[in-house]
Homo-oligomer: A and B are copies of this chain.
Amino acid sequence: ALLQAMRDFYQPANLVLKGCKVLITAGPTREPIDPVRFITNRSSGKMGYAVAAAARDLGAEVTLVSGPVQLSAPHQVKRIAVETAQQMLDACQTAVQEADIFIATAAVADYTPVNVATEKIKKSTPTLSLALTKTTDILATLSLANPQLFSVGFAAETHDLLSYARSKLERKGLKMIAANLVGEGKAFDQDQNALEVIWQDGSTSLPEMDKQRLAQELMHLISTHYQTWKQQDGTH
């Protein structure tokens, strides 16, 4: 708290997001198959929590909608705990009404079981076919419905990183997207990561570094682009 107070005193010019409301999603979601089993993904939430702390350090008022992770909520950040993709969507749709910037770092399940068994499924058959249906794309839905929002996405890919990321930027109406390679020990559950940050007419590489520092660099980029966009937006 003393350190924070000293930072606030000596670097008031750095609180570039003061008065800004930032909504961040983080972690995985869990899609229940029955009361015991579920589908999920390899997301520790570390990157999203680091982005939340970095946004707070720039003076923003931060709401963090988080799937199940083993992390404490960063100091001064309002955390809303959710489990499924549908719960994350619902929480975001309420919180987004007040937000200026939306940063979707969560690894939301793309598919969820069509039917959730109310009792534990017994292993009576040698094989089983699990019917899945697409979840609502939280990022695309909120971004396209709220053009006044500065929406930033994340893309985790095992291959063709840049082309997938740029296609997502266009399709989901994003202002920026941060892309990283995953799989084979990369990114998930690691303390280090590297990002390609892409916007409509440019991009930059943030090389491999600690997720805390990477989040600070990313938030610096986001706030710079946000300020520019807001000024342009005000002129037309």
A184 interface contact, C-beta 8 A: yes
- A7 contact set on B, CB distance < 8 A: none
CB pair A111 B132 closer than 8 Å: no
CB pair A40 B37 closer than 8 Å: yes
A221 interface contact, C-beta 8 A: no
Per the bound structure, the CA–CA distance linking A156 and B36 in Å amounts to 9
Per the bound structure, the CA–CA distance linking A30 and B177 in Å amounts to 30
Each complex incorporates copies of this chain amounting to 2
- A128 contact set on B, CB distance < 8 A: 111, 131-134
- A33 contact set on B, CB distance < 8 A: 39
CB pair A132 B134 closer than 8 Å: no
A119 interface contact, C-beta 8 A: yes
CB pair B37 A39 closer than 8 Å: yes
CB pair B109 A158 closer than 8 Å: no
Q: Chain B: which residue is nearest A189 at the CB level?
A: B68
A157 interface contact, C-beta 8 A: yes
A39 to chain B, nearest CB (A): 5
- A131 contact set on B, CB distance < 8 A: 127-130
Query: A120-B158, A123-B111 in contact; A183/B35 too (CB < 8 A)?
Result: yes
A80 to chain B, nearest CB (A): 19
A230 interface contact, C-beta 8 A: no
A186 to chain B, nearest CB (A): 9
Per the bound structure, the CA–CA distance linking A33 and B39 in Å amounts to 9
CB pair B134 A123 closer than 8 Å: yes
A116 to chain B, nearest CB (A): 12
A43 to chain B, nearest CB (A): 9
Per the bound structure, the CA–CA distance linking A31 and B70 in Å amounts to 20
